């Protein structure tokens, strides 16, 4: 991996801690305690200044320089597990969803939720369209809803496989495709109209269905150059797929238990995976080879790069 200054992998898990790792040698640089809840997901803002930690039943915001051991703010409003979070591109807003069936938009300057949307079932995943005001949410009953935040309404609802829970949603950075993965290990892909970036009249066309894994997919991610997709699953593997063809490129099989989270590096050359085998790993995307292992964290459920 090409060296650069101050590049860290951040992981969180069921041991009530957040760990910062040197991506080049796998050394743990710092551990922060998160005593009152296990961690479900970690996400860093696009400007790399803020870290959002999704837990039960709250979200905590940290500065990524971790100048102190404490968090900057705490977002209270969900009543059950927060399952997904995503920052807007400005770093002043945050979307979240949870097992309380709610999708929320938070104004981080005010530190409060300003918009709520409701599902009929617990929510599992979120994806934000590059236009910044259209958000996609999936739930445990297999429903996908597309929301227009400005109009405060649901634009469309889709059920690709009835009563099979959606586990992860992703939108390619070039706004060309929407991907949703479910508990049967299937990825459903829709083509988006990339020219419609500022209108609520979002065009969707079914593109392909991929039997990606033989069991439930836990997370999907798309590289920043929109050339790769990664899936992590309950079969202890992660897989890399080429876009837009969705041809299978690599199966990453070094983990011994579920792969809970996957995330590409900012330059799209590397993939990070987190597993309940107590490790995170980095991989070369082009070769599919493991580069470094990050060990000593109980049941890694979330990770991100900063």
Check whether 248 has a pLDDT greater than 60: yes
Choose between 198 and 237: higher pLDDT.
237
**Per-residue pLDDT reduced to its tens digit, 92-109:** 999 999 999 999 999 999
d(CA 202, CA 2): 39
Instruction: Work out the percent of the chain whose per-residue pLDDT is above 90.
Output: 86
Check whether 57 has a pLDDT greater than 50: yes
- Residue 296 pLDDT level (bands cut at 50, 70, 90): confident
d(CA 18, CA 291): 22
- Residue 195 pLDDT level (bands cut at 50, 70, 90): low
d(CA 32, CA 52): 14
Domain 84-300 has CATH 3.40.1180.10: no
57: burial class by Cβ within 10 Å (0-12, 13-18, 19+)?
middle
**Per-residue pLDDT reduced to its tens digit, 139-153:** 999 999 999 999 999
Check whether 202 has a pLDDT greater than 90: no
Which residue reads 């459920």 in tokens? 301
7: burial class by Cβ within 10 Å (0-12, 13-18, 19+)?
middle
DSSP 34-58: -TTS---EEEE-TTS-EEEEE-SSE
- Residue 68 pLDDT level (bands cut at 50, 70, 90): confident
Contact status, residue 259 vs residue 232, Cβ threshold 8 Å:
yes
Sketch the domain layout of the chain as residue ranges.
84-300
């Amino acid at each position: 991996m090409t060296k650069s200054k101050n590049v860290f992998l951040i992981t969180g898990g069921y041991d009530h801690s957040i760990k910062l790792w040197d991506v080049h040698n796998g050394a743990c640089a710092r551990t922060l305690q998160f005593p009152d809840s296990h961690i479900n997901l970690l996400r860093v803002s696009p400007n790399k200044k803020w870290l959002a930690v999704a837990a039960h039943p709250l979200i905590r915001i940290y500065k990524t320089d971790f100048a102190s051991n404490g968090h900057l703010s705490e977002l209270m409003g969900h009543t059950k597990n927060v399952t997904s979070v995503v920052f807007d591109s400005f770093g002043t807003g945050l979307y979240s969803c949870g097992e309380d069936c709610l999708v929320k938009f938070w104004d981080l300057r005010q530190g409060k939720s300003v918009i709520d949307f409701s599902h009929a079932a617990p929510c599992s995943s979120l994806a934000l369209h590059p236009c910044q005001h259209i958000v996609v949410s999936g739930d445990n009953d297999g429903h996908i809803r597309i929301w227009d935040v400005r109009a405060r309404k649901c634009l469309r609802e889709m059920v690709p496989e009835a009563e099979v829970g959606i586990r992860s949603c992703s939108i390619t950075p070039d706004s060309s495709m929407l991907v949703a993965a479910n508990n049967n290990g299937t990825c459903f892909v829709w083509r988006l109209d990339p020219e419609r970036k500022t209108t609520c009249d979002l065009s969707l066309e079914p593109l392909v269905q991929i039997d990606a894994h033989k069991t439930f997919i836990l997370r999907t991610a798309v590289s920043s150059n929109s050339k790769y997709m990664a899936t992590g699953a309950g079969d202890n593997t992660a897989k890399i797929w080429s876009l837009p063809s969705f041809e299978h490129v690599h199966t990453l099989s070094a983990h011994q238990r579920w792969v809970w989270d996957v995330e590409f590096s900012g330059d799209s050359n590397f993939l990070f995976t987190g597993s309940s085998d107590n490790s995170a790993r980095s991989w070369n995307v082009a070769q599919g080879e493991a580069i470094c292992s990050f060990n000593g964290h109980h049941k890694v459920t979330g990770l991100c790069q900063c």
